[in-house]
Amino acid sequence: MAREKVGALVMLLFSMAYGLMALKIPLSFIAQNEFFTSRTMPYALAVLGLILSLLMLILPTVDPEGKKHLKQVTHGMDWKTAILLVVGMIFYGLVIKWLGFIISSIIFLMFGFYVLGERRLKRMALAAIPLVIFLWFVMSSLLGVYIAPGELFYMLGIL
């Protein structure tokens, strides 16, 4: 059996188990008659996984001689930029609790702009700051989601 078929079989078993576990998600009395509940997305993901894994099992495999090697497929990709953006995302996840949403998001966006080739500081700031302020306003004022200002402000006694 080809490796693709073994992977599809494992995915089929996982999707079936995931769908069965979705049946055990408790629903409140009010949610039992709703169209979209906490079970809806797990059901959809389980069905999608079942369909895709069955297609992989049924359809013929690709000729292994005609496949390109990984080095041929990934040749010319800008790995440095991708890795720097992932490092920036990890750093953003680590500092958002301490610096708060606004400051850490501005730093992350400006870092991302710099990595992607923008070198004009004024343009980066004029793109990042209004966007972050707008997102903060939408989240906190319109949607009513509380966004903590950051632990650093509490430690310094500012808030």
- The pLDDT of residue 1 is above 60: no
- Mark whether 83 and 66 lie in a shared domain: no
Residue 49 · residue 11 · CB < 8 Å: yes
Same domain, yes or no: 35 and 62? yes
Domain that holds residue 150: 79-155
Confidence of residue 102 (pLDDT cuts 50, 70, 90): very high
Single out the residue in 41, 74, 107 at which a domain terminates: 74
Residues 27 and 70 in one domain: yes
Task: Please tell me the total count of domains within the chain.
Answer: 2
- Domain's final residue, options 50, 74, 98: 74
Query: Same domain for 108 and 140?
Result: yes
Q: Are 9 and 53 in contact (CB under 8 A)?
A: yes
The reply to whether 21 and 62 lie within a common domain is: yes
Do both 65 and 91 map to the same domain? Answer: no
User: Does the pLDDT at position 112 exceed 60?
Assistant: yes
Phi, psi torsion values for 27, nearest 5 degrees: -115, 140
Among 34, 50, 74, give the residue marking a domain's end. Answer: 74
Note whether 110 and 128 are same-domain residues.
Answer: yes
Which residues neighbour 22 within 8 Å (Cβ) at sequence distance 6 or greater? 39, 42, 43, 46
Domain co-membership, 68 together with 86: no
Q: Per residue in 10-59, pLDDT tens?
A: 999 999 999 999 989 888 888 788 888 888 999 999 999 999 999 988 88
User: Percent of the chain scored above 70 by pLDDT?
Assistant: 91
39 and 8 inside one domain: yes
Tell me: do 54 and 114 sit in the same domain.
no
Both 91 and 151 in one domain: the answer is yes
Angle at 16 between CA 9 and CA 39, to 5 degrees: 145
Task: Say if residue 65 is in the same domain as residue 128.
Answer: no
pLDDT band at 3 (very low <50, low <70, confident <90, very high): low
- Report field, pTM of the whole predicted structure over 0.85: no
User: pLDDT, tens digit, for every residue of 74-101?
Assistant: 788 888 999 999 999 999 999 999 999 9
Greater pLDDT, 2 or 126: 126
Q: Is the distance from CB of 18 to CB of 45 less than 8 angstroms?
A: yes
Q: Where are the alpha helices (DSSP H) in 2-158?
A: 3-22, 40-58, 70-73, 79-115, 121-137, 151-155
Instruction: Compute how many other C-beta atoms are within 10 angstroms of the C-beta atom of residue 56.
Output: 17
